[in-house]
Amino acid sequence: MTEVAAGPAHRRTAGLGGAGVDALAKRARAGDPRAVARLISLVEDGSPLLREVCASLVPHAGNAQIVGITGSPGVGKSTVTSALVTALRSTGKRVGVLAVDPSSPFSGGALLGDRVRMQGHALDRDVYIRSMASRGHLGGLSWAAPQALRVLDAAGCDVVLVETVGVGQSEVEVAGLADTTLVLLAPGMGDGIQAAKAGILEIGDVYVVNKSDRDGADQVRRDLRAMLALAERPAGGWRPPIVKTVAGVGEGVDEVASAIDKHRAWMVQHGELDRRRRRRARDEIEAIALTSLRRRFDDLHGDARLDSLAQAVLAGSTDPYAAADEVVAAVS
């Protein structure tokens, strides 16, 4: 593993002009872990240099296979991720791991456990591991994660595993980032009910029943199979397999890797990979556009403008629609 850790923001960006960004991008493409780390820090910080970073990386990205890994807290995502890294490395692939925490405003602390768990890869130069918090960024995960993925992609990773930490919308969000989404469940966690509630029956391409050394794994699999049979999926579509694992000892992990490969082959054959990537590019453009409009609005003292428009609406001299038109015209 190459720990591409973060440093203080001012040190990360100091001395970086246009030429600096290009040189940095070039070094990252050559696989220099410090350059990769710095570029991801720029993403985390929402640096104004991101436009240049993005422009110089885009022509070199698009090769990595992005695999999202999601599931309830403690279900075994990091353990499965680490075991998958081992499986992928044994086939000579260069691997990136991005652990994202969309709910936490802090970077590092909450993910320390993951780093410890990943230490089996500590000496491997062909594994990049990075955790990233979205820090309440405007646009959040939808905005920052694609850019971090692009850095790892352009740095030559064949596969990038994205683990989301936290609960709530993150499951659905990670599915939007990935070519293939793994949904993990485990016995004894009430995961069957959670699956139905969180909408993960629609997002999984491969389901993994981890902790299969515990009682109840077969029941989880049966429940899941029954629920998947009822979930709405397009006819002739991909039928997600259910794989049992004991991730801590690597059991079933090769089957997971092979299910990921099969899903990829199916997507290529059916044009689904292109469709997903196009949808992702659309989402990214939309997120950047909305963020930039919002920023412009704030720069134009949107609050003060809103106050005076609100006064005008209350005084009856304009109506909310006309007032909104004025705001939109001011930022476009």
Ligand X SMILES: Nc1nc2c(ncn2[C@@H]2O[C@H](COP(=O)(O)OP(=O)(O)OP(=O)(O)O)[C@@H](O)[C@H]2O)c(=O)[nH]1
Nearer to Mg ion, 81 or 142 (CB): 81
41 counts as binding Mg ion under rule CB under 5 A: no
Q: In the bound complex, what is the minimum distance in angstroms from residue 261's beta carbon to ligand X?
A: 22
Q: Pick from 84, 164, 181: which is nearest to 127 by CA?
A: 84
73 counts as binding ligand X under rule CB under 6 A: yes
Q: In the bound complex, what is the minimum distance in angstroms from residue 262's beta carbon to Mg ion?
A: 25
- CA 257, 148, 170: angle at the middle one, nearest 5? 65
Residues 239-268 close enough to bind ligand X by CB under 6 A: 246-248
Pick from 1, 21, 25, 75: which binds ligand X (CB under 6 A)? 75
Nearer to ligand X, 56 or 103 (CB): 103
42 counts as binding ligand X under rule CB under 6 A: no
Q: In the bound complex, what is the minimum distance in angstroms from residue 210's beta carbon to ligand X?
A: 5
Q: Which two tokens stand for residue 171?
A: 């499951």
Pick from 4, 165, 242, 243: which binds ligand X (CB under 6 A)? 165
Long-range contacts of 31-34 (CB under 8 A, 24+ apart): 31/94, 31/125, 31/155, 31/156, 33/2, 33/4, 33/125, 33/128, 34/4
Beta strands in the chain (DSSP E): 2-3, 65-71, 95-101, 127-133, 159-164, 180-185, 206-209, 242-244
Furthest C-alpha separation in the chain: 71
What residue 75 binds from ligand X, Mg ion, none (CB within 5 to 8 A, per partner kind)?
ligand X
Q: Are strands 180-185 and 65-71 parallel, antiparallel or unpaired?
A: parallel
170 counts as binding ligand X under rule CB under 6 A: no
Provide the 8-state DSSP code for 108: S
> What are the φ and ψ backbone dihedral angles of 132, each rounded to 5 degrees?
-145, 135
Nearer to Mg ion, 46 or 166 (CB): 166
78 counts as binding ligand X under rule CB under 6 A: yes
Strand ranges of the sheet holding 159-164, from the earlier edge strand across to the other edge: 2-3, 127-133, 95-101, 159-164, 65-71, 180-185, 206-209, 242-244
134 counts as binding ligand X under rule CB under 6 A: no
Nearer to ligand X, 171 or 179 (CB): 171
189 counts as binding ligand X under rule CB under 6 A: no
Q: How far apart are CA 124 and CA 126, in angstroms?
A: 5
Q: b or e along 182-203 (b: 16 or more beta carbons within 10 Å of the residue's beta carbon)?
A: bbbbbbebebbebbeebebbeb
Interface map 54-93 toward Mg ion (x if CB under 5 A): -----------------------xx---------------
Binding residues for Mg ion, how many (CB under 5 A)? 3
Nearer to ligand X, 105 or 113 (CB): 113
What residue 211 binds from Mg ion, ligand X, none (CB within 5 to 8 A, per partner kind)?
ligand X
74 counts as binding ligand X under rule CB under 6 A: yes
204 counts as binding ligand X under rule CB under 6 A: no
Residues that bind ligand X (CB under 6 A): 71, 73-79, 165, 210-211, 213-214, 246-248
Residues that bind Mg ion (CB under 5 A): 77-78, 114
